[in-house]
Amino acid sequence: MKNTKNYKTLEKIVSLCKRRGFVFPSSEIYGGFAAVYDYGPYGIELKNNLARAWWKEIVQKREDVVGLDSGIFMHPTTWKASGHLDGFDDPQIDCKDCKVRIRADHMLEEFHINADKMKAEDINKEIEKLKEKNIEFKCKNCGSKNLTPAKNFSLIVKSNLGSPTDALSEDNVVYLRPETCGGIYLNYKNILDSTRVKIPFGIAQIGKAFRNEIVARQFIFRTREFEQMEMQYFLRPSMMQEKYNEWKKIRWDWYITYGIKEENLKWLKHEKLAHYAAEAYDIEYNFPWDFDELEGIHQRGDWDLSQHQKFSGAKLDYTDPITNEKYIPHIMETSVGLNRMLLAFMCEAYTEENVNGEIRIILKFDKRLAPIKIAVFPLLKNKPELVKKAREIYDNLKEEYMCEFDDNGNIGKRYRRQDEIGTPYCVTVDFDSLEKNDVTIRDRDTMKQERIKIEKLGKWIKENLF
């Protein structure tokens, strides 16, 4: 199914993100820096709320999953063992005329050839076959046929650590992790030895990952620096299918609970699997351009721990406490990009309504995710009694919730601003408030207003927010 939410264009989302302080392009004053984005005051709140909601479901509510925060830099052999140094490539094609670099698998996709995980050599064979059928292979950007053959292009970002004199020696090469799970595998034994976990159990981590993406595209969907939220679940092979199905359901339901409509999600089964994988599915979201990958839920067999055991020489097997049987645990993972998730939730929340001939833009976030929970306004900014009372309310509420105080412009404009950042409730102090000790509370979605006694406001908000 192609996109049906045709008013929710990516351009509108990008523009709102910039205009309202969610996401900014990196290094703008220096002319920009491709494929990196910065998160502004509302973006960071939303990102934190999403991460917290994920952590709550994956770690806090479960006895069998624990958390971890491992370093971005790791022993370089980690990436030799994992296969990233030898095989983490995206074949690329360069246009000799306009110099644009294109992902070769994306070019073949246009001819309905699934080139996911294909190496450059195989891609070039496919291109030859197309040419034999007189199919022209052209640059997507300028239409030129003057293209290089596909070449493998490593996605792993290199750096150097150490003293300035030997910083350039090969020995000091380190890698910025291309995925967070490497740190989980390297700490699996530490966690086994220091906590009470027993198989089956999971380790979850949220952190930065880096990939030298050839073509970063679609705003924050694919960037060179991003955050991943990953959970690796260690189990005995016989438990795999049951646990895998359980986690698939948990992750699907989580999106629905936090406000994604089921019709905007779909499963994609991987037809081409990594050699160690038995089954892999992605959850796809209906982004403004089409359904596209949001989260991966994959079976990984015993590949990761076996490889790290082989390369490090450390014993990474597990001893069953009852039978004393020893084995290398198998792993299933859930892996999602936090930034990509933020984009999905932005797209889902973005709503336009026609109110008396004017377009009202609202971000209809689930209240738990909204960056600001309550905005407090004095009706007029030049009436000190109103400002004082509004400030008192704000000072009280901010102890518990992310709140905003706003006395700028007319009330209508202040409501619109809060609608555009998704604030569920606006509290206004007016002249009646001074006499009756009550306020108006206005609902973001219905725009209905209700009067509430100030002493009951805290209880009302608690009941209605969560």
Question: What residues make contact with ligand ATP under the rule CB under 6 A?
Answer: 179, 211, 213, 222-223, 226, 228, 293-296, 335-337, 339-340
For tokens 């925060």, name the residue.
Answer: 69
Give 42 or 88: the residue with its C-beta nearer to ligand ATP: 88
- The distance of closest approach from Cβ of residue 226 to ligand ATP in the complex, given in angstroms and rounded to an integer, is 4
- The distance of closest approach from Cβ of residue 293 to ligand ATP in the complex, given in angstroms and rounded to an integer, is 5
- The distance of closest approach from Cβ of residue 37 to ligand ATP in the complex, given in angstroms and rounded to an integer, is 10
Give 43 or 296: the residue with its C-beta nearer to ligand ATP: 296
Range 74-104 burial, b when 16+ CB lie within 10 A, else e: bebebbebbebbeebbbbbbbbeeeeeebbb
- The distance of closest approach from Cβ of residue 87 to ligand ATP in the complex, given in angstroms and rounded to an integer, is 12
Give 369 or 387: the residue with its C-beta nearer to ligand ATP: 369
- The distance of closest approach from Cβ of residue 464 to ligand ATP in the complex, given in angstroms and rounded to an integer, is 32
Give 91 or 337: the residue with its C-beta nearer to ligand ATP: 337
Q: Does residue 200 have a cis peptide bond before it, meaning omega lies within 30 degrees of 0?
A: yes
Give 226 or 287: the residue with its C-beta nearer to ligand ATP: 226
- The distance of closest approach from Cβ of residue 402 to ligand ATP in the complex, given in angstroms and rounded to an integer, is 25
Q: Provide φ and ψ at 74, rounded to 5°.
A: -140, 170
Give 236 or 270: the residue with its C-beta nearer to ligand ATP: 270
Give 211 or 243: the residue with its C-beta nearer to ligand ATP: 211
CA distances from 19 to 16, 68, 198, 339 (A): 5, 35, 49, 18
Q: Identify the CA nearest to 130 among candidates 155, 107, 164.
A: 107
Query: Would you say 259 and 366 are in contact if contact means Cβ atoms under 8 Å apart?
Result: yes
Task: Please measure the distance between the N-terminal and C-terminal CA atoms of the chain and give it in whole angstroms.
Answer: 34
- The distance of closest approach from Cβ of residue 181 to ligand ATP in the complex, given in angstroms and rounded to an integer, is 9
Reading the block at residue 75, the tokens are 């022993």
Angle at 85 between CA 163 and CA 170, to 5 degrees: 25
Pairing mode, if any, of strands 201-210 and 65-68? parallel
Give 126 or 213: the residue with its C-beta nearer to ligand ATP: 213
Give 145 or 208: the residue with its C-beta nearer to ligand ATP: 208
Query: Would you say 363 and 416 are in contact if contact means Cβ atoms under 8 Å apart?
Result: no
Give 207 or 337: the residue with its C-beta nearer to ligand ATP: 337
Report DSSP state, residue 58.
I
- The distance of closest approach from Cβ of residue 326 to ligand ATP in the complex, given in angstroms and rounded to an integer, is 30
Residue by residue, DSSP assigns 203-238 as EEEEEEEE---SS--TGGGS-SEEEEEEEEEEE-GG
- The distance of closest approach from Cβ of residue 249 to ligand ATP in the complex, given in angstroms and rounded to an integer, is 18
Ranked by CB distance to ligand ATP, the top (closest) residue is 337
The distance from CA 63 to its chain's CA centroid, rounded to whole angstroms, is 25
- The distance of closest approach from Cβ of residue 99 to ligand ATP in the complex, given in angstroms and rounded to an integer, is 22
Give 337 or 378: the residue with its C-beta nearer to ligand ATP: 337
CA distances from 433 to 203, 267, 440, 463 (A): 51, 52, 8, 22
Reading the block at residue 330, the tokens are 């198998």
Bridge partners, 375 (sequence order): 404, 426
Q: Identify the CA nearest to 406 among candidates 392, 396, 391, 419.
A: 391
**Count of positions (residues) in the chain:** 466
Query: Would you say 442 and 426 are in contact if contact means Cβ atoms under 8 Å apart?
Result: yes
- The distance of closest approach from Cβ of residue 221 to ligand ATP in the complex, given in angstroms and rounded to an integer, is 6
Query: Would you say 331 and 305 are in contact if contact means Cβ atoms under 8 Å apart?
Result: yes
